[in-house]
């Protein structure tokens, strides 16, 4: 079973241990990685909201004045897509992590998740599944 601290531990694992993790979770390994990415997106968005990043960007706050609610939701959706892309590509240029105190932790975790995906693809290619 995969534990929540897998991301941090994976970065310190030997190649042999990494292969064991991939092999033991092969059918749903990418789903696990994607789940961690989604979790990071949520934590970043939550931290932005709890740190008061923008008056109308607070999570759970709905703005119902005219067209402002749909505009707010549109900006939030775009920001979520940009955050997910930044995590996948490990490109945090721009304001993706503005208003986030734990940005170094999120960057570290994103790099490890990218490594996990890369290791999975190498493992898969060695099986002749590409």
**Domain membership flag for residue 6:** no
Tens digits of per-residue pLDDT, 22-46?
Answer: 999 999 999 999 999 999 999 998 9
Does pTM surpass 0.75?
yes
Tens digit of pLDDT for each residue in 99-112?
A: 899 999 999 999 99
Q: Under DSSP, is residue 45 helix (H, G, I), strand (E, B) or coil?
A: helix
Range(s) of the domain holding residue 19: 14-51+70-127
The count of structural domains within the chain is: 1
As a 3-state breakdown, the chain gives helix, strand, coil percent values, each rounded to 5, of: 65, 0, 35
Q: Tokens 């008061």 map to which residue? A: 52
109 is a domain residue: yes
Give Cα separations from 78 to 9, 63, 85 (angstroms): 32, 17, 11
Q: Is residue 74 part of a domain?
A: yes
Residue 5, in any domain of the structure:
no
Cβ 47 vs Cβ 100: under 8 Å: yes
* 104 vs 121: CA distance, rounded Å: 26
């Amino acid at each position: 079973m995969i534990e929540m601290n897998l991301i941090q531990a994976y970065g310190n694992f030997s190649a042999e241990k990494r292969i064991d993790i991939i092999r033991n979770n092969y059918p749903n390994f990418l789903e696990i990685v994607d789940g961690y990415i989604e979790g990071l997106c949520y934590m970043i968005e939550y931290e932005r909201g709890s740190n008061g990043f923008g008056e109308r960007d607070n999570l759970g706050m709905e703005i119902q004045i005219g067209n402002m609610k749909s505009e707010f939701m549109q900006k939030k959706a775009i920001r979520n897509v940009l955050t997910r892309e930044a995590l996948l590509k490990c490109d945090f240029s721009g304001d993706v992590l503005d208003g986030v105190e734990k940005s170094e932790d999120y960057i570290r975790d994103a790099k490890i998740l990218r490594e996990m995906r890369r290791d999975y693809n190498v493992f898969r290619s060695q099986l002749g599944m590409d």
